[in-house]
Structures are given as C-alpha cells and as structure tokens.
A and B are shown apart, each in its own frame.
Chain A
Amino acid sequence: MIEFEGVTKFYKTVIGVNDLTFRLGTGAFGLLGPNGSGKTTLLNLILGQLRPTMGSVKVFGVDPWRDESILRRIGYCPASELLLPNVSAREWVTYQTEMVGFSRTAAAELAERALRDVGLPPAAAERPIGGYSLGMRQRTKLAQAIAHRPDLLILDEPFNGLDPVGRHEMNELLTGYLADGRSVLLASHVLHEVEVIRPEFLLISGGRLLASGSPAEVRRLLIDLPNEIQLQVDDAARVAERLVATGLVDSLKVIDRQHLTVMTRESGKLLEYFPRLAAEGWPVRRLGTLDESLQDLFTMLMRRHRGEI
C-alpha cells in the first residue's frame, strides 16, 4: 500500500525526514513521534503534497506527487485547527466530498452519513463551525475524511480535544473501519491513543525511523538495553548501598527518602535478590517497571537514539 525507498526531504537546510525506507501493507498503523519529529512531513509525502528531495514514494503503486488521482482512495484528517466562522459542518463536508469527484446529491448523502457516523447531531451539523467546541470540530474533520469511504484513512492527531466518550466513539469507528478491510494510519505523539487500534507501528524522531513493526518486534530490539525499575522502600539510601554492592546495577538514582530508580541489564537476577533484601530488613514496598508499556518502549528507543543509553 505505501512504499518509501530511501526517502529524504529537506526544507532548504532543515531536514524533514531522513532516509526513510519501509513498506506498509493493508491494516492499522501507528506513526509515533514527538512534536517536530517529521510525522506530518511523512504524511504530506504520502499525500503527494511534498516531493521527496531524494528517494521514491509509492502509494497504491503510484507516485502521489505525480498522480493526484490516487487521493480519491485516501481520506486525510489534518492536525491543524478548523476555523470556518460562517460555514456549517454539513455544507463543508458536502463541499469536501464533492471535491473528491462526487455529484452534489451523492456528496450530500455521503456527508450526512459521515456526520452521523462521527456522532455529530443533525442540529449541530447545521450550525456554523466557528461556534463548535473542539470535540465537534474534530468530529467534523473526521467526517470529511471518511465521507467518501477511502481505502486508506490518514489521521493526524485525531484525538485532540475529544472527551472520553468521544475517544471511545472514535475508537469504535476506527475499529469498524479496519474491520471493513480498509487501512488506517494514525499519527500521534501520545502512544496510548495509537495503541487502541492495535497497530503495527513506526517510531520516528528527528526525521529518522527509529523502529517499525509490531510491539513484540520492536521489543526484541531492546533485549540488550537496560531496564529501568522504580522501587519504593523504607530507606532509599540504605537500599541503594546494598543494590550497588550486588553488582547487578548499571546506574542508580535516589529520588527521595523512599523512592529510587535502578537501571539494570540483569532485571531477573535483581528481582531474585529482593527477598534477601527483605530478609535483611529492607523490604521493597512497591516495584514498578517503566518497560511494561509501549510508552516505555518508545521512551527507551528515543533515549537510545539520542545516545543516552
């Protein structure tokens, strides 16, 4: 579906994305990276809005920069705010759908269905977008992206401004979309937003692809990386002394009297040591590891990329 081959994009002397090579088939994909990491540049390359300085981009087998007709198969929901003071959601979504090539009547029907699917009440859809809440604007943006039932839905920070109910509805909608055999590419800097559609993911930072694949595949990359463990104890300084003495610890940081963070490549052996520590009168009251979620995986990759670990 999407093929990047050695793609680099410069904005004059600033690099947007750097030597990206990957292939994405049909399915759900999460594009993760901090703000300014090159996510939107990557999306714009997919949409043919930017021309790669080097390398080639193919979407559904064609170069999107040269052949705009491919955009008919793509729905795009940008991150930018929607500021239209005197246009209703119905008018605007209908207009956007007509721009895909549908007749006025067909576009109006598709727009109505899309607005219903995103949960925008019919009365609200007739009001000017300028008076909408952030959540309603997000729904309107999503409606214009899905109205023409594209094969690939690209969403840039789609959860911005949505309340928990809205997020749940959005998740349901995306899950339903994927169940139809269509694809979703969801860009975000907040990992748990992406996790909900259970995607393969791409981690990007500084315009470079840090990792890609399923969470398990990316986790495999981390085998040699130290784990970070947080401990709550009665006397952090004393426990720190003992942990250093074991030789299992790469580094250690005392947060306050009761909390400390330990970096270790021998987390299994360290866990086996804790009962002994308790027997010596220094029990571990609470143990937490930062490496249990995708968020931590992402943090670790970022730190490795920056050369911190």
Chain B
Amino acid sequence: MANRIEMLKHGIRATIRYEIARSLNLGRGAAFLVLALFPPAITAIICRLPGAPPTMIPIGVTSLVVCVLANLVWSTSAVSGELEGKTWAYLAARPGGRIASMIGKYIVSVGWTALVTLSALTISIAVQALLVPTGDELRLWLIFASCGLIACFAYASIYTLLGTIFHRRAMVAAVVHTGVFELMIGWIPGIIQYATVRGPLVHLAVIGLVDKEVLEDPNFTLVFGEPNVIGHLISVVCLTIVALLASLWLIRTREYATTQEV
C-alpha cells in the first residue's frame, strides 16, 4: 500500500512538472493575457463614465467570469484532451497513471486559473485605486481574492467531472452546465442554489462587503437569507470534494478505450 501511495505521489509530481512545462507556450500566454486584462479594461471604462459609478460589483463579476472561462478551457480537458491527443493509452498503461494524471492536471489547472483570476482582480483593483480611489481597496481585494480562490478549486473539480463523464463533448457539456446551473439556477433564491458554485460564493462576497447593520436588516435577509458563512463554505467545499471524488472514481472504473482501439 505504501509503495502504491509512493508511486502515486511520483506520478502526481511528474504530471505537475510535465503539465507546467507543456503549458508554457505562446498560446497559453496569449490566453492568460486576454483573460487577465479583460476585467481591468471593464473597470477602467466604468471608472471613466460620468459620475464614476461604483466598480465593486463589475470587478467581482468579471473576476468570477475570468475564473469560469479559465477553468472551462484548462480543467475540462483532463480526460478528453488526452483521448483526443491519443496519449491516454500511454497514461492508462502506468500503475495509477489515470488517477495521478487527473490529480496532477487538476492541481495545475487550479494553479493557472488562480493565477489568472488573482492577476485580473489585482490589476482591476489597482486600476480602480488609480482612477477612483476609495481607500477600501485592500478589503475589497481580500474578499474577492478569497472567493476567487474558492471558485478556482470548485469550478476546476466540477469541470473535471464533466470532462470525465462527457469526454467526447466535454466543452459542450461544461458550457451547458454553466448556462443552466451558474447563470440560471444560481439566481434562484432557495436551497437549490447550493447545487451551484456561484450561489454560495455571491452570498459569501455580500456578507464580506456589506456592513453588519445591513446584514441584520430583515429586508436583506429576505433576499440573501441568514448570513451563514460556515454554511456557504461547507456547501462549496462539499461540492468540490464530491465532484473530485466522483471524477477519480469514474476515471478509475470507466473504460475509455477509443473507437479506433476497439
């Protein structure tokens, strides 16, 4: 058993190294720049509008969008990318190769998406601080950065699961899921929100952003519910862990022989 764990650790480390080396290319660099600069550009435009409306919500939303997009591109393809690239057969023929590869890829995609999300957020807040300083930038950054990091782990595991289940149409499945769950169900005030990442994260961000008096206002609780930080956190963490464990179980027990190999 210890030997197997050691083997798995080697595999995960090797995958991380390999995936990082492979991802350091012009394409990834260009995608990174586009994603990281899109929220600051929106922030700059808003700051230039007459009357300089508050940029807090656009910064939060665009950073979340960046996190979702980055994960769509980099997390969904854990299995489908290997199958399309015909390298799956090599990984699957290694002891623990499938699991080590998935965990390694998950860690790397979380790393990349966290980097791009935090870069986008940091530059956006710096832009705001330069153009319309409020003096509250650090608090804003801490709240959004915490939510952004949680979102990176959560979306990465959900998209990894979707890519594992629908490996032939991974991206389509991920986009449909995002549309249905994150854009539609995520807005429904009710327990069904906990099936999404966006729902609990928005609650967490709001709890961090508004004053204590507002949180206790009955009108506020009518819309956002009780300010239950632990509950929202547990919900996102559980969703992340369940999705990740389901991916690992699937990848270990599912037969991914391609049509060509049959």
Contact = CB atoms under 8 A, between A and B. Distances in A.
A214 interface: no
B221 interface: no
A16 B259 CA distance: 11
B86 interface: yes
Interface in A17-64: 40-41, 44, 47, 49-51
Interface in A80-95: 80-84, 86-87, 91, 95
Interface string B193-225: 000000000000000000000000000000000
Contacts of A82: 86-87
A179 B127 CA distance: 69
B87 A69 contact: no
A14 B259 CA distance: 11
Task: Decide if the interface of chain B is mainly helix, strand, loop or mixed.
Answer: helix
B17 to A, nearest CB: 8
Contacts of A68: 95-97
A49 B14 contact: no
Interface string B84-119: 011101111111110011000000000000000000
B254 to A, nearest CB: 10
Interface string A161-192: 00000000000000000000000000000000
Given A99-B14, A104-B14, A40 B94 contact: no
A44 B261 contact: yes
B107 to A, nearest CB: 15
Interface residues of B, number: 35
A83 B101 CA distance: 18
Given A98-B14, A100-B94, A40 B87 contact: no
B25 A86 contact: yes
Nearest to B89: A78
A19 B88 CA distance: 27
A39 to B, nearest CB: 10
A49 B255 CA distance: 6
Contacts of B18: 87, 91, 95
A41 B10 contact: no
Contact of A99 (B6, B100, B258, B260): B100
Interface of B: 3-4, 6-7, 10-11, 13-15, 17-18, 21-22, 25, 85-87, 89-97, 100-101, 255-258, 260-262
30 contacts: A11-B262, A14-B262, A16-B262, A40-B261, A49-B92, A49-B256, A50-B255, A51-B255, A69-B3, A69-B4, A69-B7, A69-B96, A72-B95, A78-B90, A78-B261, A80-B86, A80-B89, A83-B87, A84-B85, A86-B25, A91-B18, A98-B11, A99-B10, A99-B11, A99-B15, A99-B100, A100-B7, A100-B94, A100-B95, A102-B10
Closest 3 CB pairs of A and B: A98-B14, A101-B7, A99-B94
Interface of A: 11, 14, 16, 40-41, 44, 47, 49-51, 68-72, 74, 76, 78-84, 86-87, 91, 95-96, 98-104, 107, 144
